[in-house]
């Protein structure tokens, strides 16, 4: 298995190389040359596997330069009860009316990002050790990516993390999770602006090939293909749990979406042959993606037009992973994609409405949006009906999923985080604050270590120069 760039300017590379690169040298995103296929017989063979075993099988289809036995050890280290201590790994939590939650928030930071980040922490260290190399990870977060990445990378040999976050745009719990870490290899930078500003700085520095090489910049955002591959696993896991043995029926998935990485993994799973009926994309008031799937027009918003909402991890108006889906939509033609992105930069939007019939008929995509009032009502209703307390992002998914439920087709809503991370909104919705896991009860009182910075690419560049480990003679 080799990887190419969506923009056509990268020779085919093995997994370990694109793992350490992040953004492709031509500014595009790495994608597999071909999508591996899984048949119904293989799906049935996988029913008895543990989550770690299933992850090794699926990731093995995308990773040919790591021995399978080593890969099994990496997934066993990433997905075990010490890291995910609940009674069941990725449980299904039934709601009302044919809908269930796929429980992805049982990890150390209480968010679905842990599912991929724990694997990334293991595989980064593995590859770097074998190459005698180091890596400086530069990332941007709207809330959960940052803490999940930092908890996965803390103390990892050869890895230093520089994480950008938007000042005042995350919940107090999310900030405390990140900023309370005191590990020497973790650097938190709070930028004056929105998530898209942080992401633009990351892309600008990653696009400076000399700087990227000099300071060995890598990525943990979902521009890194390894994140997507690891997330593909739980779509297979959810399908296997929601269907009965011997009956290969379809399952629909609803995904709260901001940067398009989580639902892109569902798209990849569907392209691999997993019987997914629909991929239901749910957005909040920042509905750029919902607008595209409804109209065929992609029109990113400016920072000033990006709303601060009660589901802050989805306050994103430029979805960096969307390029990978458009690449498939355009028949995997890098020249057409380059032209489209040039038009986007020049005109601020592009129009693919002529391809709109394919969105659902070919790829299964439908969409919907949710508001603050919807979130409050949904959180309250779900608790009253089932006793289950959900977070605001998951509430966006539950609200939108309700419009797409079909008889005989299980609807799995991907849980985004536990409600403890968003106490203010939960209090407004149900009148009481959510319970906090015992090991995190003192989080808010811990000292915090963060550097506040203007929205300035040069300031971030200079900070990395001052704090990145001294470069030796070894290379990646």
Q: Which residues are catalytic?
A: 113
Which residues pair with residue 429 across a beta bridge? none
Which secondary structure element, helix H or strand E, spans residue 253, and what is its range? strand 251-256
Question: What length is written for the chain?
Answer: 476
CA distance 232 to 264: 9
Tokens of 21: 């690169």
Nearest by Cα to 323 from 194, 174, 223, 472? 223
Tokens 């990378």 belong to residue: 153
**The tokens 């429980």 sit on which residue?**
103
Tell me how far apart the alpha carbons of residues 426 and 217 are, in angstroms, rounded to a whole number: 38
Beta bridge partners of 136: 160, 217
CA 92 to chain CA mean position, Å: 20
d(CA 36, CA 327): 17
Assess contact for 323 and 28: CB atoms under 8 A: yes
- Sign of the dihedral through C-alpha 444, 447, 448, 451: positive
The two structure tokens encoding residue 66: 């790591």
What tokens appear for 473 in the block?
A: 């003679």
CB contact set of 453 (below 8 Å; sequence gap of 6+): 189, 190, 191, 192, 459, 460, 463
Closest by alpha carbon to 419, among 398, 400, 402, 404?
398
> Could you tell me whether strands 92-94 and 99-102 are parallel, antiparallel, or unpaired per DSSP bridges?
antiparallel
For residue 148, the Cα-to-chain-centroid distance in whole angstroms is 10
Q: Are 245 and 357 in contact (CB under 8 A)?
A: no
CA distance 33 to 60: 15
């Amino acid at each position: 298995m080799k990887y190419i760039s969506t923009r056509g300017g990268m020779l085919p590379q093995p997994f370990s190389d694109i793992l350490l690169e992040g953004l492709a040298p031509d500014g595009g995103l790495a994608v597999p040359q071909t999508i591996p296929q899984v048949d119904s017989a293989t799906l049935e063979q996988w029913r008895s596997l543990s989550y770690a075993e299933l992850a090794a099988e699926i990731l093995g289809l995308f990773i040919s330069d790591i021995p399978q036995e080593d890969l099994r050890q990496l997934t066993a280290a990433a997905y075990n009860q010490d890291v995910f201590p609940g009674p069941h790994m990725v449980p299904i939590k039934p709601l009302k009316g044919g809908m269930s939650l796929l429980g992805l928030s049982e990890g150390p930071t209480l968010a679905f990002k842990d599912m991929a980040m724990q694997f990334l922490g293991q595989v980064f260290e593995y590859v770097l050790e074998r190459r005698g190399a180091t890596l400086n990870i530069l990332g941007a977060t709207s809330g959960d990516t940052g803490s999940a990445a930092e908890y996965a990378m803390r103390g990892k040999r050869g890895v230093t993390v520089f994480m950008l976050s938007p000042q005042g745009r995350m919940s107090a719990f999310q900030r405390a999770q990140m900023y309370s870490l005191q590990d020497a290899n973790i650097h938190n930078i709070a930028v004056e602006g929105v998530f898209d500003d942080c992401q633009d700085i990351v892309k600008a520095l990653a696009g400076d090939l000399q700087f990227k090489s000099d300071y060995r910049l890598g990525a943990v955002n979902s521009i890194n293909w390894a994140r997507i591959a690891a997330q593909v696993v739980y779509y297979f896991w959810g399908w296997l749990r929601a269907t009965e043995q011997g009956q290969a029926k379809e399952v629909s998935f609803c995904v709260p979406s901001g940067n398009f990485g989580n639902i892109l993994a569902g798209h990849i799973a569907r392209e691999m042959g997993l019987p997914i009926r629909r991929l239901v994309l749910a957005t909040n008031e920042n509905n750029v993606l919902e607008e595209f799937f409804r109209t065929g027009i992609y029109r990113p918003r400016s920072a000033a037009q990006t709303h601060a909402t009660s589901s802050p991890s989805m306050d994103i108006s430029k979805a960096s992973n969307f390029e990978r889906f458009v690449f498939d939509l355009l028949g995997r033609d890098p020249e057409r994609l380059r032209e489209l992105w040039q038009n986007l930069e020049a005109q601020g939007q592009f129009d693919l409405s002529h391809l709109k019939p394919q969105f659902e008929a070919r790829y299964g995509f439908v969409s919907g949006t949710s508001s603050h009032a919807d979130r409050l009502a949904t959180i309250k209703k779900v608790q009253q009906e089932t006793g289950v307390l959900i977070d605001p992002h998951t509430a966006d998914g539950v609200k939108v999923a309700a419009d797409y439920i079909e008889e005989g087709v299980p609807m799995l809503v991907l849980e985004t985080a536990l409600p403890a991370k968003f106490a203010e909104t939960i209090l407004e919705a149900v009148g009481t604050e959510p319970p906090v896991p015992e090991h995190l009860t003192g989080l808010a009182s811990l000292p915090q270590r963060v550097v506040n910075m203007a929205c300035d690419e040069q300031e971030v560049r200079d900070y990395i120069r001052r704090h990145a480990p001294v470069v030796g003679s070894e290379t990646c």
